[in-house]
Structures are given as C-alpha cells and as structure tokens.
C-alpha cells in the first residue's frame, strides 16, 4: 500500500522479535516494495537492553533484534531506546548505541539515511562519529554530548506536529493514499490501551504524554532541517539568576505598581534575548 502510494520510507517502531506463520507475507511485501520503481526504503527497530550504567546511555549489554527473516530483508535497523532526563522529560535522542558485539544507529538516524536513498552497505563510510560530533553525508555536522546524544527540537506538542492516521482507516480506504506520497511514514502505537512507550516532553501541556514513535519523528525532522538545541551553560544560568535578583529588587523597592509591571515585562524580554545570546 505505501509503495503504491509513493511513500519514500517506511519506519517501523514495532519489533517483530518472534516468528509467526504470517511473517513471510510481510517479508515478500517488503522485498516487492524495495524492488519496485518507487524503491520504498524500510527501517525496522532494535532495542538495546541492560544498560551498563546510569549515565552510559549509548552502552548496553545486548540487543533485541527482529527475526532473521526481517533483519535480512529491510534496508536499515535502528535503535528505539528513549531515555528521559533525571526529571523524567525526554530532551535527547541517542544517535548510536553499542554493545560488546554490535552497534546500531538510532532509529531516526537510520531513517535519515534511508530518506537520503543511501544504501546501507555504503552508509558506514559516509557517517562519522568524532569528538562529540556527527558528520552527515551532506557535510553538515551535528553536535552530540559525550554519550552521543542529540538534543533535538520539538515541532509541536503530542499529536500536533505531524498528521496521524489510524491503521484501521488506512485498511478501510478512508485515507487518500496521496497523503503518503514522497513522505517518511512512521508505523507504531499511539494512544493504545496499556501502551508503555509514552513519555513526558518539554512542551506537553497538562501532563500530556508523547508516544515514542512520535518522538522519533521529531528527531528525524530535526536532523533533516538541521535544527538542534544547545544546553544552557552554567555561566548563562548564573547570569540569569543574578539578573532576576537585581531586577526584582529594583522593581519592588523603587517603582510604583504600574511602573514595575512595565519593567517586569521588559526584563522578561531582555532575559530571553540574553539567554539566546549567552547560551
């Protein structure tokens, strides 16, 4: 269906780790789509398990993989691990995870390479991880932290940034296939009963959680657009605290009520600009 609709890449966030009698049907469909005139590219997930330490986000003891039939058929494999910060909010995505026996790129990075139509056999020669930097085939460089994580951008809150279609509506023919033309299509669970792959995000209002598959979509869009965030420096944080303390003293000690409202508003604007410049 996606191949006929002209989709560019299909990214699964569903792990087919156990064999079933119906697997060959999907394997045959994947092979047919990859060999079609459209050349649909397929990415499937792996999961890193048993993280070696609390801070070694990119080091695991082993991986859960798709069955051999799928792993040998798709274009790319990518890790779906989503690790929140200490406050439970997801701000980073791991670009590469290693075990003693293997290594895999993050799902979004694998999806990016598939989107670029770069064969997996050549990908390792075009992607470079050096000194907290990820070098892409285009020559663009992305800054990573010391565990090879990208601080990506969010393009909207949960269920806001990207169109979402239910699997049932697609099967029933209620969705115009043209919406998938030349698109990267993520396939995963959202708003499902008992779903555990949901996470707090910086822009989730009212405690609304975001599905892992949607987080991967935001990460891919950040890579494509070259939009990444930078952690605020300690110096900038200290400067902000000092600035607020001084302005609060001025506002409440010297100015009448109307005056301090105006000054407070201007202070907020200056603070935002200062944060952008210093950080």
In this prediction, residues 16-28 reach a mean pLDDT of 93
Same domain, 127 and 188: yes
Same domain, 156 and 174: yes
Q: Is the pLDDT of residue 279 over 50?
A: no
Same domain, 216 and 112: yes
- Classified as helix, coil or strand, 258 is helix
Domain that holds residue 250: 234-278
- How many whole angstroms separate alpha carbon 48 and alpha carbon 79? 7
Name the more confident of 222 and 240. Answer: 222
Same domain, 149 and 44: yes
- How many whole angstroms separate alpha carbon 96 and alpha carbon 117? 20
Q: Is the pLDDT of residue 266 over 70?
A: no
- Classified as helix, coil or strand, 12 is strand
In this prediction, residues 7-16 reach a mean pLDDT of 96
Please check whether residue 271 is in contact with residue 263, taking contact to mean a CB–CB distance below 8 angstroms.
Answer: no
Same domain, 136 and 17: yes
Same domain, 192 and 266: no
Same domain, 26 and 120: yes
Same domain, 207 and 251: no
Please check whether residue 113 is in contact with residue 42, taking contact to mean a CB–CB distance below 8 angstroms.
Answer: no
- How many whole angstroms separate alpha carbon 170 and alpha carbon 168? 5
Predicted local distance difference test score (pLDDT) of residue 251 = 60
Q: Pseudo-torsion of CA 142, 232, 215, 211, nearest 10°? A: 160
Domain stops at, among 205, 225, 245: 225
- How many whole angstroms separate alpha carbon 95 and alpha carbon 109? 6
- Classified as helix, coil or strand, 82 is coil
- With cut-offs at 50, 70 and 90, classify the pLDDT of residue 258: low
Give the chain's mean pLDDT: 86
Position 168 in a domain? yes
- How many whole angstroms separate alpha carbon 52 and alpha carbon 182? 39
Which of these ranges, 4-8, 125-129, 160-164, 239-243, has the smallest mean pLDDT? 239-243
- How many whole angstroms separate alpha carbon 30 and alpha carbon 94? 27
Whole-angstrom Cα Rg for the chain: 22
- Give the predicted TM-score (pTM) of the model: 0.84
pLDDT tens for residues 198-219?
A: 999 998 777 789 999 999 999 9
- How many whole angstroms separate alpha carbon 68 and alpha carbon 70? 5
Domain count, the chain: 2
- How many whole angstroms separate alpha carbon 30 and alpha carbon 91? 33
Same domain, 30 and 140: yes
Same domain, 197 and 151: yes
Position 4 in a domain? no
- How many whole angstroms separate alpha carbon 16 and alpha carbon 202? 31
Predicted local distance difference test score (pLDDT) of residue 24 = 94
Same domain, 149 and 132: yes
How far from 69 is each of 16, 255, 268, 273, CA to CA, in Å?
10, 73, 57, 53
pLDDT tens for residues 102-115?
A: 999 999 999 999 99
Q: Is the pLDDT of residue 256 over 70?
A: no
Place of tokens 């607020």: 244
Q: Where does 175-254 show beta strands of DSSP type E?
A: 184-187, 198-199, 210-211
């Amino acid at each position: 269906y996606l191949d006929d609709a002209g989709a560019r890449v299909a990214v699964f966030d569903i792990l087919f780790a156990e064999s079933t009698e119906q697997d060959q049907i999907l394997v045959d469909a994947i092979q047919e789509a990859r060999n079609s005139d459209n050349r649909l590219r397929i990415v499937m997930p792996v999961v890193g398990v048993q993280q070696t330490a609390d801070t070694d986000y990119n080091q695991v003891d082993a991986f859960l993989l798709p069955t051999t039939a799928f792993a040998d058929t798709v274009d790319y494999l990518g890790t779906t691990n989503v690790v929140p910060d200490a406050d439970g909010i997801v701000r980073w995505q791991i670009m590469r995870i290693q075990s003693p026996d293997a290594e895999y790129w993050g799902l979004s990075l694998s999806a990016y390479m598939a989107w670029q139509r770069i064969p997996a056999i050549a990908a390792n020669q075009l992607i470079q991880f050096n000194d907290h930097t990820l070098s892409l085939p285009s020559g663009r460089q992305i800054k990573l932290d010391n565990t090879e994580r990208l601080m990506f951008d969010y393009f909207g809150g949960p269920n806001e940034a990207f169109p979402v279609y239910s699997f049932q509506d697609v099967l029933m023919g209620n969705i115009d296939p043209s919406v998938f033309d030349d698109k990267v299509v993520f396939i995963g669970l959202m708003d499902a009963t008992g779903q555990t792959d949901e996470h707090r995000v910086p822009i989730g209002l009212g405690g609304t959680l975001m599905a892992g598959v949607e987080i991967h979509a935001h990460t891919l869009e950040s890579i494509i657009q070259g939009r990444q965030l930078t952690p605020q420096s300690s110096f900038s944080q200290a400067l902000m605290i000092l600035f607020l303390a001084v302005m609060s003293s001025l506002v409440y000690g010297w100015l009448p009520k109307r005056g301090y409202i105006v000054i407070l508003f201007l202070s907020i604007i200056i603070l935002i600009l200062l944060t952008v410049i210093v950080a």
